[in-house]
Amino acid sequence: MDSLAVPNHPHSVPEHGGAHPSVPNSKNRLLWSTGNLGILILTSARLLLERTFGGQNTEKEAHEMLSYAFEHGINALDSSEAYPLPMKKETQGKTDVYIASWLKSQSRDKFVILATKVCGYSEKFLSYLRDNTKVLRVDATNIRESVEKSLKRLNTDYIDLLQIHWPDRYVPAFGEFFYDPSRWRPSIPFVEQLKAFQELIDEGKVRYIGVCNETSYGVMEFVHAAKVEGLPKIVSIQNSYNLLGRCRFEIDLAEVCHPNNCNIGLLAFSPLGGEALTGKYLDLNSEDAKRGRLNLFPGFMERYNRPAAKEAITEYSKVAKKHGLTLVQLALGFARDRPFMTSSIVGATSVDQLTENIDAFITTERPLLAEVMADIDTTFKIYKDPAIL
C-alpha cells in the first residue's frame, strides 16, 4: 500500500510518530475528503474527498459515497472536529458520526486510514466545541479534549493523522494573502503544542501529526522545535492549492516542504476551488449552480465566485476544451502532477460527483502534456491567484 503505513497493531507507533518513508514523496496518492463528510483518502491515485457529510449529505448518502470510494481504491478519510461545513453548532460532529457508523462494517486496521483535525484559535465562534472555555487554543487542555471527543464520535481508539486545523497564532488564511503585522498576538509556544501531541502519541491515541493553513514560518518552527527537543515531527501540511490560488505555496512553502529540506507532504484542499473549477458557476441560472454550495451557503468560499476568478475560470475552460479535456480533468490533473503534491482533497456531495472526480484524477493522461502545461502557464501569467482576498 503506497500510503501512510497502517500498523499491525493500532498502538504500534514509530518513535516520535514519524512518517512512513514514502509519504512525502509518493507519486501515486488519491485523497478523498468529506467535510461535507470530511474524508482523507490516501490511495494509489492521490485524491482526497471532503467536508459535506451531515451538512449537504444524509447518512445513507454518506455511506454510499464511502463504499464507492473504497471500492475504487481510496483507503483513508479526513475529518475535523468542526465538520461538516459550513461550521454550525446544530450539525457539528455529524461527519464523524456518519464515518463511525460506516466503519462498523469495515476492517479498520487493515486498510482504513483515519485523519482528523483539532481547531485552532477561536474566540466565541466555536466555543460550543469545548466544555469549559469560550476561547479555543492549541494547548494541551484543548488538544486532549478535542481528541477524546473525536475518538468517541468516531468510535475508535486511535487516530492515524491528527492535524491542527489552523494555527494558534494569527496568520492570513482562507483566502487572505497578505500578513497584517497589527494582528500579531501572543500564541501557544510550538514546543508546548508538540509536547501535548507527544503525550497522545505515547498513549497510542494518535500516530502522526500535521498542520493545516500554515505558513513557512510555522512549518519551520515546528520542525526545528521537534528536532531540538526530540518531539514528534509534523509529516503533512493541508493547505489550499489550485489553478486559482498557487502563489502562497509555490513561492516558498514548496522549498520548505521539499524532501531534502523539511520533508513535509502537501495534502492540497480545494483543487477544484470550492467547485468553481467545475465551471458550474459560470452560469448562475443553471440548475447545477443553484444546487452548488456557493449558492446554498452565501459567503462560503465566496472568493472563488468573484468576477476576477470567473474570468480566469473561463480562460482555463478554453484551455481544457482546446486539448480535449473537461475543466475538472484539467484542474485535477494539474494538481495531481505538481512535483510537491502528496495528495489532493476533493469535495463531493453525490456518487456522480465522486465518480467524475476519481475518473478525472485516474484517467487523465499523466503527466499532462507539455503543451497543456504551457497554456496553463500562459493563462496563469495573466490571472495570478484571482481568488485571493
Q: Which residues are catalytic?
A: 83
Pick from 52, 32, 33, 36: nearest CA to 44: 32
Residue 377 one-letter amino acid = D
d(CA 235, CA 326): 33
State the virtual CA torsion across 280, 284, 285, 290 in degrees, nearest 10: 70
d(CA 95, CA 82): 9
Number of C-beta neighbours around residue 278 at 10 A: 21
Residue 268 three-state SS: strand
* 135-136 and 159-164 strand pairing: unpaired
d(CA 356, CA 326): 10
d(CA 102, CA 61): 11
Identify whether the C-beta of residue 329 lies closer than 8 Å to the C-beta of residue 320: yes
Residue 138 corresponds to which cell in the numbers above? 492549541
d(CA 54, CA 338): 32
DSSP H or E segment with residue 108: helix 108-111
d(CA 33, CA 17): 23
Which residues, at least 6 apart from 136, have a Cβ–Cβ distance to it below 8 Å? 119, 120, 121, 122, 123, 126, 127, 129, 130, 142
d(CA 320, CA 329): 8
Pick from 68, 78, 145, 149: nearest CA to 114: 78
